[in-house]
Structure 1
Amino acid sequence: MDTNRPLVQASRRAREVPVSRRQMNAMLLAGLATLAMPTVAGTAQHPAPPYLITDFDWVDRTRSRPVPTRLYWPATGVAEQSVPLVVFSHGIGGSREGYSYLGKYWSARGVASLHIQHSGSDRALWRGNPFAVVSRLQAAAQEQEAIARAADMRFALDNILSDASGYQAAAINPQRLVAAGHSYGANTTLLTVGAQVVRNGQTIDCLDARFAAAVVISAPPFYGESDLAAILKNITVPSIHITATDDVIQIPGYRSGAEDRLAIFEAITNPHKLLAVFRGGSHSMFTDRSFTGGFSLNPKVKLATADLALAFLASTFDGDDSALDRWQTQWQPILAKTQVNDWLG
């Protein structure tokens, strides 16, 4: 088989201003000081956000590869609970700052979210000669970068579960670790939870068995592979798949539509899988971009996506399907297709 053939393809996302660890500590001190101060009549009070944001500039020295990350952490109740953790992989051309709406929503509700920046396929691809963007995207989708991305997931999880993070590793529930991603990051997620591709007679196996569930948003096909069932047969964790009818990736010489997302969902043999397809939209509306996919639809899909992931985790980890049932009813007007009811039985 052609070893130069890329495994995956994905898309870009938006930027956000970073918050350093020093700034986060200052915010914590300010928050503590505010708790001790009396309320002054007539003075507007601005409550602190229910999450903390910390950036880590880790380097995997065994690969000489930077692995920047951003952690969204629940601001309250950490000592009283065992916190689930999502490890999130961005689309091609993205960064740790992207998909902030997911990190904020989840962490505000007790689920920490660690967003990885993949240095070989991050926002640096958009810099330089604009006429060479397509070639840079194609290079970033080669198999070595796909493998490196999966290694980034493993390295980041190793670090956040160690003292290197500065957080108490004991606060993270090792039985509730979730791999998640959008576009190229969705492929990274699938590789991390068991997808296997054969290249030149060798099986590419990036499984990290610590992950107990997967959130797969807008997964492109695995390039050059016609037997998706063979690639995905070893995925045994529960998974949720989210897309839209107009979820299309299109660059010169390449197109991938929503039918590819559905094919991946259908090819996974593990029955513990969920599907949600929004009506209309776009591939990039799942990023932080505000208007793509429709001025009205965009914020609804973001909220519905974030909420569905939490309902999926409640069902997977706690056996509580009530949130999924409510989600199905609440968001029915913007849905084209679901297999939530199949999950609920």
Structure 2
Amino acid sequence: MRSSGGLAPACASPRRLAVACLALMLAAALPGLSRAQPPELPPTLSNELAVRIVDFDWVDAARARPVPARLYWPNDSAPGARVPLVVFSHGMGGSRRGYSYLARHFAARGVASLHVQHAGSDTSVWAGNPLLLVQRLQTAAHESEALSRGLDIRFALDRILASGTGPYAARIDRSRIVAAGHSYGANTALVAVGAGVMREGRRIEAKDGRFAAAILISSPPFYGEPDLSSVLDNVTVPTLHVTATEDVIRIPGYYSGPADRLAIYNAIATPRKAIAVFNGGSHSMFTDRTSTGGRDLNPKVKAATAELALAFLDQIFDGDRAAMVHWNAKWQPILALAPGVSPHLSAAARARPAHAVQR
């Protein structure tokens, strides 16, 4: 794989979608989690000189909506070589600056990463009177805002592939474009690759056929949708799912645990999928935060997640399974479930490491 919420968490009624998104967003507001934008991690996973960072302050004129984005570009890619592209959607309350550890790792290894910021469900939800926080979260959870996230992804991809944006369009390998995201952003990525619901006899979705795969970290449930298979039956691209045994959204009345991540995985019909479950952790350890989930485990999970994503792309795009086999052996000590192992596990089984199995 080297160079060679609305409709997201539930496309349901505004009330159902508000429940879905509120669960995600309040998770970031719980004690111990900073509301401020976390500082970027030092480039421990990559060579700083190998990565070029470019910010775009795009505006979608048709929607009068800002769509900021940050591009991490592989500086050392061979002249004329085509570069794969990951388009990443942040979780609720995040920004284009987040998940930098993934972006730097990708770009240092020849894969560009475009991180899209979603106005209305970004860091702006934390600004202002704290007594109005719930109101701001509910506004950000509205169905119209959730739909806008999917449109942000499409617009940002349009712009980065436009020749007027810069030299990048001519260098991007359009057969290797991947949707990715964490938490609310994972649902946005699912929408981009085909997730949708039926409303008044009509399927509502925002599938973008340019995406050839998806990387889904901590996907929340599609609240209010009892039949996940119908929501996800149009997701046919290869998918990688990542979670942890303590990947829990702890909201009274809206509890969501790792079983919900497994349910998303199980409901996708295509066999071209893989799931990894880390032992322990937290829902927010996949962000740039450095202590959540355990100070020892946190950096290991970050490194493992970044490596796994590229190993997965090597396998699906190049048919090269060597990196995945190596990954399984390297990270087995922190895994409760390795790619290739059946995800239909009991709670007790998920609490102890499992042996990696490759199919």
Do Structure 1 and Structure 2 share a fold, with TM-score over 0.5? Answer: yes
Q: Which residue of 2 aligns with 1:336?
A: 336
Root mean square deviation, CA, Å: 1.9
Q: Which residue of 1 aligns with 2:59?
A: 59
Q: Which residue of 1 aligns with 2:15?
A: 4
Summarize deviations over 1:42-94 as a string: whole Å, max 9, x none. xxxxx852100000000000111100000000011242421000000000000
Distance 1:278 1:333 in 2: 9
- Tell me whether 176-185 or 243-252 shows the greater mean CA deviation: 243-252
CA shift for structure 1 position 144 = 1.6
5+ residue gaps, structure 1, are 19-46
Q: Which residue of 1 aligns with 2:286?
A: 286
SS at match of 2:49: coil
- Give the number of equivalent residue pairs: 317
Distance 1:265 1:174 in 2: 26
CA shift for structure 1 position 275 = 0.3
State the one-letter code of the partner of 2:192.
T
SS at match of 1:251: coil
Summarize deviations over 1:264-315 as a string: whole Å, max 9, x none. 0010010000000000000000000000000000000000000000000000
Conserved? CA contact 2:163–2:170, under 8 Å: no
CA shift for structure 1 position 147 = 1.2
Conserved? CA contact 2:38–2:289, under 8 Å: no
- 1:50-129 paired onto structure 2 within 5 Å: 50-129=50-129
Structure 2 residue 37 is the aligned partner of structure 1 residue 15: yes
Q: Which residue of 1 aligns with 2:251?
A: 251
Conserved? CA contact 1:324–1:340, under 8 Å: no
Q: Which residue of 2 aligns with 1:203?
A: 203
Query: Are residues 103 and 2 of structure 1, via their aligned partners in 2, closer, same or farther at CA, if it must alter by over 3 Å?
Result: closer
Distance 1:303 1:335 in 2: 13
5+ residue gaps, structure 2, are 1-11, 29-34, 41-46, 343-356
Q: Which residue of 2 aligns with 1:234?
A: 234
CA shift for structure 1 position 3 = 4.4
Q: Which residue of 2 aligns with 1:167?
A: 167
Conserved? CA contact 2:51–2:104, under 8 Å: yes
SS at match of 2:310: helix
Distance 2:126 2:277 in 1: 29
State the one-letter code of the partner of 2:188.
T
What is the TM-score normalised by the length of structure 1?
0.87
State the one-letter code of the partner of 1:156.
A
State the one-letter code of the partner of 1:264.
I
Query: Are residues 111 and 100 of structure 1, via their aligned partners in 2, closer, same or farther at CA, if it must alter by over 3 Å?
Result: same
State the one-letter code of the partner of 1:74.
P
Q: Which residue of 2 aligns with 1:327?
A: 327
Conserved? CA contact 1:134–1:252, under 8 Å: no
- Tell me whether 89-98 or 145-154 shows the greater mean CA deviation: 145-154
Q: Which residue of 1 aligns with 2:194?
A: 194
CA shift for structure 1 position 4 = 3.4
- Tell me whether 293-302 or 166-175 shows the greater mean CA deviation: 166-175
Name the larger-Rg structure.
1
Q: Which residue of 2 aligns with 1:23?
A: none
CA shift for structure 1 position 16 = 5.8
State the one-letter code of the partner of 2:156.
A
Conserved? CA contact 2:328–2:339, under 8 Å: no
SS at match of 2:301: helix
Q: Which residue of 2 aligns with 1:34?
A: none
Query: Are residues 285 and 266 of structure 1, via their aligned partners in 2, closer, same or farther at CA, if it must alter by over 3 Å?
Result: same
- Tell me whether 5-14 or 159-168 shows the greater mean CA deviation: 5-14
State the one-letter code of the partner of 1:57.
D
Structure 2 residue 192 is the aligned partner of structure 1 residue 181: no
SS at match of 2:91: coil
SS at match of 2:53: strand
What is the TM-score normalised by the length of structure 2?
0.84
SS at match of 1:340: coil
Conserved? CA contact 2:187–2:220, under 8 Å: yes
Conserved? CA contact 1:5–1:142, under 8 Å: no
Distance 2:106 2:182 in 1: 16
Q: Which residue of 1 aligns with 2:43?
A: none
SS at match of 1:174: strand
Conserved? CA contact 1:93–1:125, under 8 Å: yes
- Tell me whether 333-342 or 180-189 shows the greater mean CA deviation: 333-342
CA shift for structure 1 position 205 = 1.1
Conserved? CA contact 1:3–1:199, under 8 Å: no
SS at match of 1:249: coil
Conserved? CA contact 1:328–1:340, under 8 Å: no
State the one-letter code of the partner of 1:246.
E
Query: Are residues 84 and 229 of structure 1, via their aligned partners in 2, closer, same or farther at CA, if it must alter by over 3 Å?
Result: same
